[in-house]
Amino acid sequence: MPASLTHNRGTAAPVFVHGWRSSGPLGVAGLAMIIRTKAYARAGLVGNPSDGYFGKTISFIVRNFAAEVVLYESPEVEILPNTRDHSRFPSLSALAEDVRKFGYYGGIRLLKATIKAFHDYCEEHGILLDNRNFTIRYRTNIPSQVGMAGSSAIITACLRALLAFYGVTIPRFIQPNLILGVETQQLGIPAGLQDRVIQVHEGLVYMDFNRELMERQGYGLYEEMDPRLLPPLYLAYRTDLAEGTEVFHNDIRGRFNRGEPAVVEAMKFWAELTDQVKDCLLRKDWATIPRLLDENFDKRREIYRISEGNLKMVEIARATGASAKFTGSGGAIVGTYPDEGTFEVLGTRLGAMGVQVVKPIILPESTSPHH
């Protein structure tokens, strides 16, 4: 049975498993490594979607769901498909069901784009890579198309595996920009930095994307906070088809760039709301936070088109006494609940409309009994 060891480099450290013989730098006593890396789902607690518009957000990692990448040395570079990448179906209805669950794209394009972006970054920065190839595959249980950052989790896990395989170090404050570029520049997917920042840093993070700061240094101010400051939270996500980010963010960018007052003011409102929630967390003022989270969604409703199913999910959650707002681009919500009775009612009522409710795990379970 092969031995294993943990490579401790920052958060979500890759796990190396001894394999066959190799002359590569990762070899230990002539043995190569099978590298396994993970990146987790995330939930925007407050401030989203202002992260893409020089705003502020607070976000946390959701360890209940993860994307995992496995990478090992091989004669050629090969990207192995996941079940959601297959192109053979037993029937038309099976094809339609696959599209309903996963959309038209799987994860291969994400891995391919990440590998290219990593190659380009190393080339631009004069980083010489070993002349070794690899095989890479992924798997994920992050709910698809519900605004929990499943795509960026695959990209983040892939980048971690590449860094470990080639022994390259990229500063943590730079990694989110590289990951964002995979989606926005390589694949043309609209996105902001929030998801990538929290998936790189993990835990609970306050983010300030102030325009002057972003234009001067290319990244924001990222402040890690103690997740134990959080009140009891729930996470609920639709198990039917939800709108993807590419649909949801339809014309907000254009309206913002044109200076539409309602959109510009909304971004400022969300940024201010984020500072209020941060202050509440630091003072342990849990009583005020539910109202602020509700206000986050109410402002979104003023300028976005919200689908009936997503709106109903929020309304049902609030009717139980919980607060509710989108975790991201729609299809999943996050909020506070006052007691266990409310959480049980949440699960029952939302479950009746095909919505799964969980308590998010933010810290490794061995370090926190509450989150």
pLDDT string in tens for the chain (371-residue length): 333 223 333 456 666 554 433 344 444 444 568 999 999 999 999 999 888 889 999 999 999 999 999 999 999 999 999 887 878 889 998 888 878 777 777 789 999 999 999 999 999 999 999 999 999 999 999 998 888 999 999 999 999 999 999 999 999 999 999 999 999 888 888 788 999 999 999 999 999 999 999 999 989 999 999 999 999 999 999 987 544 443 444 588 788 889 999 999 999 999 999 999 999 999 999 999 999 999 999 999 999 889 899 999 999 999 999 999 999 888 999 999 999 999 999 999 999 999 999 999 999 875 554 55
Residue 371 lies in a domain: no
Please tell me the predicted confidence (pLDDT) of residue 15.
Answer: 63
Q: Half-sphere exposure of 295 toward its Cβ, with a 13 Å CA cutoff?
A: 16
Q: What is the CATH number of the domain that holds 56?
A: 3.30.230.120
- Looking at residue 242, its pLDDT comes to 46
> Over the range 265-303, which residues count as b (16 or more CB within 10 Å of their CB) and which as e?
ebbebbbebbebbbebbeeeeeeebbebbbbbbebbeee
Nearby residues of 34 by Cβ (< 8 Å), 6 or more positions away: 16, 17, 18, 19, 70, 71, 72
Residues serving a catalytic function are 195
Rounded Cα distance between 286 and 370, Å, is 15
CB atoms within 10 A of CB 165: 25
367 lies in a domain?
Answer: no
b/e map 16-40, b = 16+ CB within 10 Å: bbbbeebebebbeeebbbbbbbbbb
Number of folded domains that form the chain? 1
Pairwise CA distance, residues 68 & 56, whole Å = 29
Q: Is residue 321 part of a domain?
A: yes
Assign residue 162 a region (left: φ > 0; alpha: ψ between -120 and 50; beta: otherwise). alpha
Residue 207: which of 12, 46, 62, 371 has the closest Cα? 46
What residue has token string 């509700």? Answer: 294
With respect to residue 202, please indicate whether it lies within any of the assigned structural domains.
yes
Domain hosting residue 173, numbered range = 4-358
Position 111 scores a pLDDT of 97
Please identify which residue in the block is written with the tokens 């810290």. 363
SS3 of residue 169 by DSSP: coil
